[in-house]
Amino acid sequence: MFKKILIANRGDVALRVLRACKEMQIPTVIVHSTADADSMPVRLADESVCIGPPSSSESYLNVAAIITAAGITGADAVHPGVGFLAENADFADIVAAHGLTFIGPEPRHIRSMGDKVEAKITAAEAGLPLVPGSPGAVPTLADARRIGAEVGYPLLVKAASGGGGRGMKVAETADRLAEAFSSARSEAKAAFGDDTVYLERYLGQPRHIEVQVIADSHGNVVHLGERECSIQRRHQKLFEEAPSPALSPEQRQEIGTIAAEATRHMGYLGVGTMEFLYENGAFFFIEMNTRLQVEHPITEEITGVDLVREQVRIAAGMPLSFTQEDITFTGHAIECRINAEHPETFMPTPGKVTAFHAAGGPGIRVDSCLYTGYSIPPFYDSLIAKLIVYGDDRDKCLARLRRALAEFIVEPIPTTLGLHERLVDAEAVKDGSYNIRWLEEKFLAGDDSGTAE
Ligand code: ADP
């Protein structure tokens, strides 16, 4: 096992990794920017190293400073957390070149899944069902027109290097293709420095359902079921639940087995998430995330698996501590992302928290770095707390969530707590009939009813 783990991240995810390390009795080093000197992970880690000013490019993305901090403190492994360098294959290579272990997948998998065109080709080879579309990159408008005629409209133009929903444009009809093609390319060029695009049929009312997979270096591959993440705003997830209210146990077993088999086929190592769109009973692979997901706790709640602990064990060459047969899905879990954002305008609301009280009691888990007196810095992601609620079944989980939200206090800054309080009482949430369009097109427009046609 590792002698000391360096955590190259901040916020609630740094704390999550720190907690797993402490329970495994592995000493920790946290690196941080000057803006995070008073943060919870810095207070709780065994050692901390300030690696730069607030700007992420000079601190949390400063590879030389992170590697130097590992050298100075004698760390022998690096956990990248979620975001920042977690899906940066070059960073994983550099970590290994310095004789350290990167707690994550192999660089080749990070690289191939990071390029969405290559990812789709790899996924197809591994037997995953794809959204109908172009077989690879689409270089010219003439190619796009030809493929459009075959696949049909509406058509989505997507950036190969895309992320966070950027570089994605819908062409409703063939005469809108030229405009969508050129604007997706220029947005992709500006955002990612790469204007490679590909085409997919644009699904009208899908759900976003993702499957958690985990693989060790001894040939063991297990799926841990799905997470339903359809409640999204601007492609950002806000509310996630496991299991999905849309799937039967047979469908869960089927898509889980397909995802696990694809993971095995790829020779993948560590934790990963295969994201699918689900419409009319069919799954369509859209991408694989080669890291821990923000919403991983809901999977932990219904399976009893500690995903971070398993990540560390796998990186140390140990086998998974369970088999597929050991995994059962018990009860229901929901995660609400509490962001320092205005609940209606979604503008970030950084600032000092003068009163913080987390919900508690049976079935409640709060992953958060907040404390009374903490100043939320304006430089980073606005996620400040994850409220994770477990119940024996979905109705009990929703009832518990309602009472937990009423207990939760973050003052005086506006947060998305109020949005979640309204969400939990929405008809489409209560009956589970929402899809990825529901939040923006119906709920935020004042209609909380379901989406059933
Ligand atoms: P990113 O990496 O930018 O997040 P994804 O491919 O994961 O891009 O897609 C993000 C979101 O965009 C999905 O969760 C879904 O809401 C929407 N989306 C992606 N592909 C399609 C599609 N073919 N049809 C309809 N919606 C899509």
Pocket test of ligand 1: the residue of 155, 168, 170, 440 to mutate, having most ligand atoms within 8 Å of its CB, is 168
Residue 197 identity = V
Within 6 Å (CB) of ligand 1, which residues are found? 131, 156, 162-165, 200, 202-203, 206, 208, 232, 235, 275, 277, 286-287, 436
> Could you confirm whether domain 5-103 is CATH 3.40.50.20?
yes
What is the model's pLDDT at position 451?
61
Q: Is 123 helix (H, G, I), strand (E, B) or coil?
A: helix
Residue pair 138/120 in contact by the 8 Å Cβ criterion: no
CA dist 4 to 18, 56, 158, Å?
11, 24, 41
Among residues 111, 291, 365, 400, the one annotated as catalytic is 291
Please report, for the chain, the start and end positions of each structural domain, with discontinuous segments joined by +: 5-103, 132-201, 207-445
How far is it, in rounded angstroms, from Cα 309 to Cα 315?
A: 10
Q: Identify how many contiguous H helices and E strands the chain contains and give both numbers.
A: 15, 20
N- to C-terminal Cα separation, the chain? 54
Atom of ligand 1 nearest to the CA of 164: 3
CA of 235 from ligand 1 middle (Å) equals: 7
CA dist 209 to 190, 230, 241, 416, Å?
29, 7, 10, 23
CB contact burial 285-320 (16+ within 10 A = b; e otherwise): bbbbbbbbbbbbbbbbbbbebbbbbbbbbbbbeeeb
We find that the CATH architecture of domain 132-201 is: 2-Layer Sandwich (3.30)
How far is it, in rounded angstroms, from Cα 323 to Cα 329?
A: 14
CA of 203 from ligand 1 middle (Å) equals: 9
CA of 286 from ligand 1 middle (Å) equals: 7
Q: Catalytic annotation on 394? A: no
CA of 155 from ligand 1 middle (Å) equals: 12
Positions in the chain whose pLDDT score sits under 70: 451-453
| Residue of minimum CA distance from atom 13 in ligand 1 | 235
- Can you read off the two tokens belonging to residue 364? 């409640």
Atom of ligand 1 nearest to the CA of 275: 7
What is the model's pLDDT at position 131?
94
CA of 66 from ligand 1 middle (Å) equals: 32
Pocket test of ligand 1: the residue of 210, 277, 288, 437 to mutate, having most ligand atoms within 8 Å of its CB, is 277
Residue spans of alpha helices (H) in 240-376: 249-266, 296-303, 307-315
| Residue of minimum CA distance from atom 21 in ligand 1 | 202
What is the model's pLDDT at position 88?
96
Domain 207-445 classification at class level? alpha beta
